[in-house]
A and B are shown apart, each in its own frame.
Chain A
Amino acid sequence: MACALIIMKVVYTPGNVPINLGDELGRGGEAVVYAGTHPTFRAIKIYSAVPEASLVQKLHILVDLASQRLSSFCAFPLSVVLDRPGGRVIGYAMPRGEVGLRPLHQLYGPRDRKEYFPDATWKFLVHMARNLAQAVALLHETGIVVGDLNPNNILAGPRGDLFIVDVDSFQVANATKVYRCTVGMPDFLAPELIGARLDAVDRTPAHDNFVLATLIFHLLNLGRHPFQGRWKSPEEFSYEFAISDHRFAYSSSAAARGIEPPPLTLDLTRMGGACAKLFERAFVGSISTRPTAKEWVTVLEALRDNMRVCAHIGTHTYLDDGLPCPWCQLEEKGAILFNFVAAVSASTGLDVEELWRRICLVDPPPQMQAITLAAASPDSAAIRFFATRRSSLTLAVIMAALCVNIAAWSSLFSTLIPSEVLAAAILVTGFVSFLSWATGPKLSVYENRLKQSIDARDQLLLHSERNAAARFEAKRLELKVLCDVLRNFPARRAAQVAKLTARARDLQLADYLDRYSIMRAFTGRLGIGKLAILLANGIDSAKEVSYERLVVIVGIGPAIAQQLVDWRTACESKFVFDLASGVPREQLARLDGNLFLESVRVEEQVRLGTIELEKITRDAVETKALTAEAILSARYRVEKARANLRAAKRGDKG
């Protein structure tokens, strides 16, 4: 019966909607979860055994309860699925958890977290705890008890998203019956359930609340179980005993119970008074004092919003309680609980984006309003200049013409005025007129004046408005480049770490292959003689095996060489690089140290640059009124000079 269900390729909703089963997404003790090829039904859980009637009824109740809201953080059943149209229920359809989701223990366990959530800070863990509390609060509001709340069933995503799976194990009730949650994990079980048969008790929200507090504690104390501590009594450890005896290892009353917090853990006090109180109520108190999911939401939000960033390591965030960074203190004792990140802005605790944001906040220098000048009218001198020059020239020309005519007409006029006198008078007038035309102010004077005024105006503009804007832009660009340098630190670090890691991997692989002894693997497969030849040539483990090296050895033919190489390949395929012990700590520390020093220098440049940027604008604002006036008058002078020149040339009056 079990096998028949697994080879199924298509399943159907009760409304006969076919859903194709895609890749396997996961598998548990009692079912396999497949991807579903339907926009709504994106994940399908198929039971290994035909579900009992009561489970089917429970699924129907869950389907009725399903809502957009619940489906957003739970793999809530959206429909039962049948093996054929009108057939029997063999599973259910649900929304699919996004890729990148990982079981909660991979988030709270430091070793896994450093690998799978490399940037997660304590603030992120608190945020996640808050989201978990919120999820449980919503389920309780809906009348659901989770029951088997545990770190396998809660999936966490890198953006703080949360997804609870195994929803068919939730406890739900209708008017006539409670559909129980029949399982639990011994380390995630309320004291009153210890020793109970879980398929024989009704679960309550209070049971969930105990486990919720336990999970929140794991998130806040980096994977530590609240009941795991140093115990003094000689008896063996057991969760059953520790939990039912309220041996909360971090409690202010822990010593009286013969237990103390484990080494290399966060003190309860560093989680804030409100949080500590809730933990005491949850773990040392009774059912009646146990905090609800809602209470946790409030307290965790307050904690999350009251954090500071360590001055030395950017991934260290902690409660802003005026005490030194607890993660640095633990690091000094040898526990590296967060990935190193070059503390890009260690001196202030600001990050690059914060620096850049500050730069963007600096207003550019004010722009001068574009005032349209009324057209300037020319000076009377310019107009007179034109008139004088014109009349002088005209007079001279007339007089010259007269002189010529007089010569011709002299006989006629000579009777009236003696012609010599007349001619002399005309000559003098004409000469004077010519003289005044030739020696009076020249047009080039007006041209020069215009040129000078334009120069003066441009000079002024350059030193004020346009210049301030240009200087501002140039400085800003410089700062942007510096910020990009800062932004690039993680990538540069990653690249250098990758280089170190590759080197470490090679070393580790060699070490690993060295453990595969040829003697051990090939005794019986190769004759003693051949083995002796190999040993004599310094080849005694998989590390030394390479085809080139082997074929040249007398007595080792290509066949044996190939056999050994295949073996080496097989050994190598089992090699798993251990990242954690990969790159030696000192190398990382040196790398981070260098990056740190450099980042401090660059950051200082950014900081000073930002101050300069602000100064450019401030200066521009302060001198704006003065400058505006000066510019206006310079522009006016240009207009005036232009009008004068025009007038002087053609007599335009503007």
Chain B
Amino acid sequence: MAHVIDVLPFDSSEFADNPEPRCPCVLVLDVSRSMAGKPIDELNAGLLAFQDELAADTLARKRAEIAIVTFGPVKVERNFQTAEDFRAPVLTPQNDTPMGAAIDTALDLLEGRKAHYKQAGIGYYRPWIFLITDGGPTDSWQKAAQRVQAGEGRNFSFFAVAVEGANVEILRQISKRPPSMLKGTKFRELFQWLSSSLKAVSRSQTTDSVKLLNPGTPEGFGWTEIK
């Protein structure tokens, strides 16, 4: 039963060391000028708490894989890393809001990662893409929106989170799922919700599909509000 390919196209030893199935999650974060001040501070604090909470769960730390794409300009701040290795970056406010290009980058990153899983024979759960923005795209976003629409529910789950000031109308056109409104700067609560949702794949469930906590309720860390 010899393996067909003996010369490995990429280093799969990381998967030999940790063969747990992965739950990839890309955070697409707006770091445009308007995020300066409290929002970016809270976002940074939220990311740190996110790192700590995932790392504390013995199984989720091996399963959840985090990547971070920031925009503007578009930058892969962190490529995919399991939560045990993930270190939250310290983000600083930059320029404009090229949201379309950022989403494209995130989708490409995800495609590439899934190809690795496939070659390494590693299982995975439906990936998550999390877009957080307080503005509207300053580039063309229609093509990215199409890709999101086509992949939603099949290749990944896409969530858009609108921070005060976001162009909710465009977010609605990008994401099939209605965007969630962040209450004030409750980034920490948002990331608490996200980490416990990611941890869910490492826990026992009543059904085989992962149940999400309602983010509008205290159990779901109450980070959204109806507008």
Contact = CB atoms under 8 A, between A and B. Distances in A.
Nearest to A218: B19
A645 interface: no
Contacts of B11: 334
A186 B62 CA distance: 16
B151 to A, nearest CB: 10
A330 B16 CA distance: 10
Nearest to A195: B208
Contact of B87 (A224, A334, A515): A515
A230 B118 contact: yes
Contacts of A337: 16-17
Interface in A162-212: 169, 182-187, 189, 194-199
Interface in B1-40: 1, 3-6, 8, 11-13, 15-21
A225 B123 contact: yes
A265 B18 CA distance: 12
A263 B121 contact: yes
Contact of A109 (B8, B62, B92, B154): B62
Interface stretch (A6-14, A234-242, A489-497): A234-242
A280 interface: no
B167 interface: no
Interface in A507-550: 512, 515-517, 519-521, 523
A109 B21 CA distance: 11
Nearest to A575: B87
B204 A185 contact: yes
A186 B1 contact: no
B204 A335 contact: no
Nearest to A110: B17
A83 interface: no
Interface residues of A, number: 72
A237 B206 contact: no
Contact of B203 (A29, A250, A261, A330): A29
B204 A184 contact: yes
A596 interface: no
Nearest to A242: B123
A604 interface: no
Contacts of A186: 201, 205, 208
Nearest to A574: B48
Nearest to A512: B87
A333 interface: yes
B140 interface: no
B121 A109 contact: no
Contacts of B6: 333
Nearest to A228: B123
Contacts of B126: 236
Contacts of A557: none
B3 A223 contact: no
Interface string B66-101: 000000000000000000010100101000000000
A82 B180 CA distance: 43
A249 interface: yes
A197 B207 contact: yes
Interface stretch (A148-156, A420-428, A616-624): A148-156
B123 A237 contact: yes
Contact of A237 (B1, B117, B201): B117
B85 A105 contact: no
Interface range, B side: 35 or more
A520 B92 contact: yes
B122 A262 contact: yes
Interface string B155-170: 1000000000000000
Nearest to A106: B58
Contact of A223 (B12, B19, B85, B120): B19
B204 A187 contact: no
A578 interface: yes
Contacts of A109: 17-20, 62
B11 to A, nearest CB: 7
Contact of B18 (A111, A187, A250): A111
Contact of B21 (A103, A225, A236, A334): A225
Contact of B58 (A103, A237, A250): A103
A29 B118 CA distance: 32
Nearest to B58: A103
A240 B16 CA distance: 23
Given A189-B208, A261-B3, A515-B87, A237 B19 contact: no
A263 B6 CA distance: 8
Contacts of B185: none
A364 interface: no
Contacts of A195: 208
A576 B58 CA distance: 15
A225 B21 CA distance: 8
B119 interface: yes
A261 B1 contact: yes
Interface in B192-216: 201-208
B118 A228 contact: no
A269 interface: yes
B206 A183 contact: yes
A189 B206 CA distance: 11
A314 interface: no
B15 A262 contact: yes
Contacts of B120: 230, 262-263
Contacts of A580: 17
Interface of A: 29, 102-103, 105-106, 109-112, 148, 150-153, 169, 182-187, 189, 194-199, 222-225, 227-231, 236-237, 239-240, 242, 249-250, 252, 260-265, 267-269, 330, 333-337, 512, 515-517, 519-521, 523, 574, 576, 578, 580
16 contacts: A103-B58, A197-B206, A230-B119, A231-B118, A231-B121, A236-B126, A237-B117, A237-B118, A260-B4, A261-B3, A262-B19, A262-B121, A334-B8, A336-B13, A337-B17, A512-B87
Interface of B: 1, 3-6, 8, 11-13, 15-21, 48, 55, 58-59, 62, 85, 87, 90, 92, 114, 117-124, 126, 154-155, 201-208
Q: Which 6 A-B pairs have the closest CB atoms?
A: A262-B121, A335-B16, A183-B204, A264-B16, A186-B208, A228-B123
Given A103-B58, A223-B19, 20 more contacts: A105-B59, A109-B17, A111-B18, A112-B58, A152-B204, A183-B204, A183-B206, A185-B205, A186-B205, A186-B208, A230-B119, A231-B121, A236-B114, A236-B155, A237-B123, A260-B3, A261-B3, A262-B121, A263-B3, A574-B48
